[in-house]
Amino acid sequence: MVQQMRTCHSDDALPRLIYQTSLRLQIHADKVLLPFGITLEQFQPLKILERGGGAVGQRQICGLAGKTPANMTRILDRLAGKNFIERRQDPEDRRAFTIVLTPVGRELVEQVMGLFTSYLDQVLTGIDEADEAVCRRVLRRISENLDRIAPKDIPGAEPG
């Protein structure tokens, strides 16, 4: 089967739809989080901590969140200022910190996850489980493809 050349110029090009949908999801999620005084970007490390048993190394959080250390430090500073997390120095490496979810932070995660479950039900209204599974599979494949592509492999994308 011959694959047709895809174009990124149409309004319904898949990358554009993915980007626009992702952006809209983030904007909506930020509105849901507004009463809690945090953004989706700030909620992400809290969710990572909750999934990690309440204590995770700062470097590991950076990797899981896909953030630079400087950006994550800024985010964690804000969360610490709101008493959602504590930084604890690693006794074996004075340069490293373990980030700990406080009881206040844990309560926030529980409240927000309840809201997000309801929100997700609304977002996915009219999409059956089979379509959702196909969408997940396609998005994972795109992500895997992106992991394999280096800028040098894209014609014209080489630094000049």
pLDDT digits (tens, 9 = 90+) for 58-69: 999 999 999 999
What pLDDT does 2 receive? 47
Percent of the chain with pLDDT over 90: 70
pLDDT exceeds cutoff 60 at 124: yes
Phi, psi (deg, nearest 5) at residue 124: -95, 10
| DSSP-derived secondary structure letter, 92 | T
The per-residue pLDDT of the chain, averaged, comes to: 89
What pLDDT does 84 receive? 97
Strand order, beta sheet including 93-101: 55-57, 93-101, 85-90
Q: Angle between the 58-65 and 40-51 helix axes, to the nearest 10 degrees?
A: 120
pLDDT exceeds cutoff 90 at 152: no
Query: What average pLDDT does this structure show over 109-123?
Result: 92
Residue pair 41/62 in contact by the 8 Å Cβ criterion: no
CA dihedral 136, 138, 144, 145 (to 10 degrees): -160
Query: What average pLDDT does this structure show over 88-114?
Result: 91
How is domain 37-148 classified at the architecture level of CATH? Orthogonal Bundle (1.10)
pLDDT exceeds cutoff 90 at 138: yes
pLDDT exceeds cutoff 60 at 151: yes
Confidence of residue 150 (pLDDT cuts 50, 70, 90): confident
